[in-house]
Structure 1
Amino acid sequence: MSKIKYKGRKSGDFRSAKERPMSTDLVKLMAEDAGKGVSQAFEDSAWWLPEDLWTRAWIGAMASLDRSKGKNKQPLIELLRSESRITRIERDYLIDLLDRYEFNVQANDLCTSALALLRADSELTAAQRAQLADLIQIRDLKRPAHRPPTPAYDRTDVDAHLEWDETQVRQLQKNGGRVGGARMALESAINKVAPDPRDASILRDYIAGKRGSTRRMKKRRPKS
């Protein structure tokens, strides 16, 4: 098996407390939850997600549905029927989810219309959200026969690793990795983060936007 770290490492390998940047709010929450165990929820371990509580509620519901292969729809249905705010980024993730499950394929016009409403600029009314919840509830969400694409809110193990390493490269470029440190040239920073020449080549292409699978994945993600 290849020893290149981008092909052999899992995304969870670099999520230690020492590596992950912590905001003031996160430090406060950690203090409040001390001794209560560590959450295994996807939305609590996906460090690339925006630190937005509204988004995290919706992401958790979508992750539950994905992990159950379309069976556990209830958390998402309850959110749609609630008064919980649904922002543009959440709607984009929801569109991606329903597209991945081919929600409007071989379905009636109501499903197609629901997706059209999600893609529109205007927010959904309470009645429209309730109708969408009803449609999701009564319709089986089956994944297509081919290998399903990675959810827009998620990362493949390789992309998660590359994205994290890019943040380390940018930090080295900014201050050498230490507050007040000397800036480091891009090539030097890449070689420091990825000492193996093969890893360095992959990371270099990723940072330059030359990795095809990454470019395709980014097109499906909400605009930041």
Structure 2
Amino acid sequence: MHLVYLVHVPSLIKRWCQDVDRSVVNSIDASLNQLRLPHNLNIPFLESVSNAGQWKAKNSRLFVLNVGVPIVTLHLPRLLASHFLLYSMVVKIFHAPESIEEINLTEQVMNYYCKTAPLIHNSSIEIFSLHAHIHLAQQVRRHGGLAHTSASAFESCIRFIQKKAHGSKHLGAQISYWIDLQTMIQTQQVKAPTIAAINVIKYILLLRKFSRSKGMF
């Protein structure tokens, strides 16, 4: 996850900003600020794309998996946009592949992306972080989709875990203690059973009426 969202994507966006006018950067920022997303994806972009190095992993993840393709298609030159489309497609499939055939095909696309990256940008992009992408397919085959790796799966749980620890000492013990305590306490709301009250007076009157009709009184 960190290879994609915290290393390569910020570096790639930085290169875009160096290759386009400031007006294009402002247009991309405006598009990101105008996003209206469901609550489970409502992640604000507080930093400009020119400061993508300050983005959190969740911002880069949202950009690559969800909103980046239409934005770059609208604002970036065709060559830069089409190259990013390849990368976005690869990451999406690696995120949750459905078959080994998908992984094999995506591996070929990723190899093509890495091979053509120096032609799209320049040779300075040929660093280890780009080369490491070639091995993503092998990691997905061995450990499953990127969505199921520990980094991606627990990224959203950091805030939950952080609330379990206070101060700076024995953090692990604090977290395990409060989580154990929470699992032992039943948090499900218990509803009291509805009491079926009987109207005694009405019951007696009905009983007398029934008895008279039968000649009992």
The TM-score with structure 2 as length reference comes to 0.30
Between structures 1 and 2, the one with greater helix share = 2
Larger radius of gyration: 2
For CA contacts below 8 A with separation 6 or more, give which structure has more relative contact order: 1
